Chains A and B, each alone.
Chain A
């Protein structure tokens, strides 16, 4: 089980959280202008790295707020936790 440090509540067990997948995926500015390929990219393609991954979590059984985490998918190590609206931290 992951121990996830909520930026508001501190470290809590994974069981209190809901996963939200890749972070920083912006809704297209002008969806109607997209080609089919671009729309497919937006709808269906998400990064799937083996390594550091910026992802969203919601503390659904706690403060109920969404936030972002950089976690290494090869080790499950959490490198950074940051609030929605903040830029992705640079991981050394």
Chain B
């Protein structure tokens, strides 16, 4: 690959050899780990940092998600962190100096029952009070935004309206990872692949380092970013997390002419669809029910996604499936993430983003870096502490997060 042909350098970062010790070791080189490393360096001047990845960089859920970005969650706590992320997305290509194909094409969340309508209207009001752009659209307006949605009244689940967030959209997930990786490496962060963390050393209640397949590494602080494997890694320090790991699948069609200008999600019919820049229809829905660490799921789940998509978009009847795949997502009881302290000094946790953490990548990187640098939660991530399951201060986002990602 020459620089001139694709206007792209041959290497975005240099592979690093593990040093004996770091100020901060980040476990997991997905989007969140890379963004955290970047903001540790940029916002806090902490650059003696390693990101340890058991496979290849951003080969986990970062490589597998369907890239929906939005901030139209119900509760103030969620609006705070997701809207912070969306604002960062809006300046991220300039900040990283890297193209991300960030496209604010809007998202429609369809309502198919009176209860859906009430929930949707309530969410629009809540969003507006939090400064999140949101509108309530009737079926005809839905059709104007996305002409291929079937809004006729005589279908099994008629579209009664939709919430609309114009600033929502999609981005190219790999570019986002590479952009953060390149920028973090430029600050001197070591990105170390094929390096699985197999143990956490804790002495007198304080983390002192990690054991890895490439040898032991001492660390002042350790920040977990292991997504679907968070329970496994946290258990190495005796920390229990209220997570269940499930496969989440998605699929794409072959390349088609541009037909779908926005992102459409439906909790009730249970599918979401957008069209990638290249032309594939990208769709997904809910998790496979049984717990599993296999990055694959059952085909009947894919069949249901497709029949749901056909219900909303009869025009897709002759589209072909090109590819299906799965990732392992870490699901919490309240469909909100866990970001913060663990009870072990110097050990921090970021997990539980489940089916919807791609959109949060810059926002969580920002808040988690602050948490690690200061040893206390950033105000925007403070509500997402592990101890909310004891205090009872849950942030229940099942309504905004159900099929939604």
Seen from chain A, the residues whose Cβ lies within 8 Å of a Cβ on chain B are 1-2, 14-15, 18-19, 21, 36-37, 40-41, 43-46, 48-50, 53, 55, 71, 73-76
Contacts and interface: CB of A to CB of B under 8 A. Distances in A.
Nearest to A53: B291
B245 A19 contact: no
Nearest to B332: A44
B290 A2 contact: yes
Given A21-B244, A21-B291, A40-B389, 9 more contacts: A19-B290, A45-B240, A46-B244, A48-B232, A49-B231, A71-B290, A73-B292, A74-B293, A75-B294
B298 A2 contact: yes
B243 A48 contact: yes
Contact of A14 (B229, B245, B300): B300
Given A45-B240, A48-B243, A50-B229, A55 B291 contact: yes
Contacts of A44: 242, 333, 389
A44 B120 CA distance: 28
6 contacts: A18-B289, A19-B289, A40-B390, A44-B389, A50-B232, A73-B245
Interface of B: 229, 231-232, 240-245, 289-294, 298-300, 333, 389-392
Nearest to B387: A40
A48 B333 CA distance: 13
Given A1-B299, A1-B300, A76 B242 contact: no
B382 to A, nearest CB: 18
A71 B231 CA distance: 18
A15 B303 CA distance: 11
Given A2-B298, A14-B298, A48 B292 contact: no
Contacts, number: 62
B331 to A, nearest CB: 10
Contacts of B292: 73, 76
A36 B293 contact: no
Contacts of B232: 48-50
Given A2-B290, A55-B290, A73-B291, A36 B243 contact: no
B389 A48 contact: no
A1 B298 contact: yes
A49 B232 CA distance: 7
Q: Which 5 A-B pairs have the closest CB atoms?
A: A19-B289, A48-B231, A1-B298, A44-B242, A40-B390
B300 A48 contact: no
A36 B391 contact: yes
A36 to B, nearest CB: 5
A49 B291 CA distance: 9
Given A21-B244, A45-B242, A50-B229, A73 B300 contact: no
A41 B240 CA distance: 9
Contacts of B389: 40, 43-45
Nearest to A46: B244
A15 B300 CA distance: 7
Contacts of B231: 48-50
B333 to A, nearest CB: 5
A28 to B, nearest CB: 15
A19 B268 CA distance: 20
